[in-house]
Amino acid sequence: KNEVEQSPQNLTAQEGEFITINCSYSVGISALHWLQQHPGGGIVSLFMLSSGKKKHGRLIATINIQEKHSSLHITASHPRDSAVYICAVCDSNYQLIWGAGTKLIIKP
Amino acid sequence: DTGVSQNPRHKITKRGQNVTFRCDPISEHNRLYWYRQTLGQGPEFLTYFQNEAQLEKSRLLSDRFSAERPKGSFSTLEIQRTEQGDSAMYLCASSLGHGEVLTFGAGSRLTVL
């Protein structure tokens, strides 16, 4: 079993839909990162969470430390949101452990 | 400061040759990470530095791979006797410290013929 599990692996939605991507982890962590990677592009850090909730524009990230679970939400999704979204946790040994990513496609 | 800079952006080499990649992190960032990403896969951790000290090294990093950060600023990743399986995007990221937001470079793509 992977230490960081993301779901779904692939998600296709219509423009305007509310999107949720989930991340569960099995190790103790000091922080959790949500990252975005566009096809052929670089990786952009969206959020770094250690507790609670953060919001940036149409993106919202939450984390529940007790349940070892985090979610990334996108409101009013747009085709330009199409990308791979990666959850990565920073464990107690200072290592970053990556999830497999969620490929999101937003159709106009 | 223009963010994390990686050079070269693309390197094509013949099998058996040595290659070196350079990463210049954001100047005040203490942590520097190297990752490898192959097509369709998520990034794999290779190694990281806290200032000039190499604190962790993945088992993915064979003896042919070596990384340095001699003055705690820029870092180099060298691959000796390259193999076709080394073809990948090599990503560098830096952060202010443990658990801080990561900033990634654009990556260095290696193609081994």
A43-98 pLDDT, tens digit per residue, is 888 998 989 999 999 999 999 999 999 999 999 999 999 999 999 998 776 677 88
Mean pLDDT score across all residues of chain A:
91
Would you say the C-alpha torsion B92, A88, A40, B65 has a positive or negative sign? positive
Give the pLDDT score at A56: 93
How many inter-chain contacts (A to B, CB under 8 Å) are there? 55
B69-78 pLDDT, tens digit per residue, is 998 899 999 9
Residue in this structure with the two tokens 């180099």, named with its chain if needed:
B76
- Alpha-carbon distance of A8 to A52, in angstroms, equals 22
Answer whether A57 touches B (CB < 8 Å): no
Which tops the pLDDT comparison, A30 or A6?
A: A6
Task: Write a three-state SS string for A34-61.
Answer: EEEECCCCCEEEEEEECCEEEEECCEEE
Please answer yes or no on whether B42 and A86 come within 8 Å at the CB atom. yes
Answer whether A2 touches B (CB < 8 Å): no
Which tops the pLDDT comparison, B40 or B9?
A: B9
B16-55 pLDDT, tens digit per residue, is 999 999 999 999 899 999 999 887 777 888 998 999 888 8
Which of B42, B91, B105 lies nearest to residue A101, judging by beta carbons?
A: B42
Residue at A33: amino acid letter? H
Which tops the pLDDT comparison, B67 or B58?
A: B67
B-interface mutation test, from A63, A96, A98, A103, most B Cβ less than 10 A away: A96
Paired tokens of B2: 């223009």
